[in-house]
Amino acid sequence: MDIPDRVELVRADPIRLRLRSHAGQTTAEYALVILGAAALATLVIAWATQSNAVGRLFDTVLDRVLGSAG
């Protein structure tokens, strides 16, 4: 395969070249989504810890379960 044949292969497949150029962009987008989800989870955990919401939720659930069982 000489050089002109290789040039023709590159010209014949522009879709492959376009997909290859966007591969890093997709990875970066996934990373940003994961960072956003982690930040949101951190805010929810901080709120739940300070407001004792999780403890009240568990107390409510246990009271209802024990109330319906007995």
Q: What is the pLDDT of residue 14?
A: 67
Residue 53 binned pLDDT confidence (cut-offs 50, 70, 90): confident
pLDDT, average across residues 41-47 = 93
Residue 33 has pLDDT above 70, yes or no: yes
Q: What is the pLDDT of residue 25?
A: 74
Four-point Cα dihedral 59, 64, 69, 70, nearest 10: 90
Q: What is the pLDDT of residue 27?
A: 83
Residue 4 has pLDDT above 60, yes or no: no
Domain that holds residue 27: 3-69
Measured CA to CA, the distance from residue 19 to residue 25 in angstroms comes to: 10
Measured CA to CA, the distance from residue 37 to residue 29 in angstroms comes to: 12
Query: Looking at the 3D structure of the chain, how many domains does it have?
Result: 1
Q: What is the pLDDT of residue 28?
A: 86
Q: What is the pLDDT of residue 6?
A: 54
Backbone Cα Rg of the chain: 27
